Amino acid sequence: MNLCSQFVREPMRLVGRSAGLLLAGLLLVGSCVSIGMLSWSASPAQRRAEAQQRWVARAFASYRIAIRIEYGGNSCAQELETDGERLRRIVANSCRVSWIGVTTVARLFEISELLDRPTPCYSSLQSCSCYRVVQGSVAYDPQLGYPTSIVYRRQVQPNVTDFEYWRRLLSTRRLPTCGPNNYDVTINVVALRPIT
């Protein structure tokens, strides 16, 4: 009797262990799939394309836009009127930095697209020893689609993955001067209203 019950218990233990391992494996795979589905979201390019479609479908062509830009401890503001996407008139502009330019909605979409591009070399004087790192986020108006907020961090760092970095290091025996050109940039649309 003891021998017979041992033959019955041993396979049951193996079946129990196998079932337990199988169940644990299924739970692990199910958890990974669930986390992947929860964390999936549209890419920045997809979000921008959807926002641009909403902007193109708006019921008005001309608009007045007011923005505030903060960068490296400085701030400025612009208020513009457009005829379509062409500048009609500058109402106010305290932004005296060339990279800002005239900030229409089309320009805001351009800036948001720059966040998706590969990092460019920083200075042509140093070949590609330094590169610009831009990381940020963009929020879009849910109805009209225009970018309401663009926030990014601009950093210039040594480009240790590029041959030019090492060539310059060996030839000059100095690290490239990538500069302290690191700062945060925040662009907020304060107001946007149609012009009739």
pLDDT tens sequence across 9-21: 555 555 556 666 5
- Please name the helix (run of DSSP H) or strand (run of DSSP E) that holds residue 140, with its range, or none: strand 130-140
40: left (phi over 0), alpha (psi -120 to 50) or beta: beta
What average pLDDT does the chain have? Answer: 79
**Token pair listed for 173:** 């025996």
pLDDT value, residue 109: 94
Cα angle 136, 139, 145; round to 5 = 135
Model pTM score: 0.66
Q: How many CB atoms lie within 10 A of CB 24?
A: 10
Separation of alpha carbons 103 and 140, rounded Å: 16
**pLDDT digit string, tens, across residues 108-126:** 999 888 887 656 665 545 4
**Is residue 94's pLDDT more than 90?**
yes
| Token pair in block for residue 68 | 């505030």
Q: What is the pLDDT of residue 135?
A: 73
Percent of the chain topping pLDDT 70: 68
CA distance 95 to 77: 6
- H or E element: which one contains 25? helix 2-39
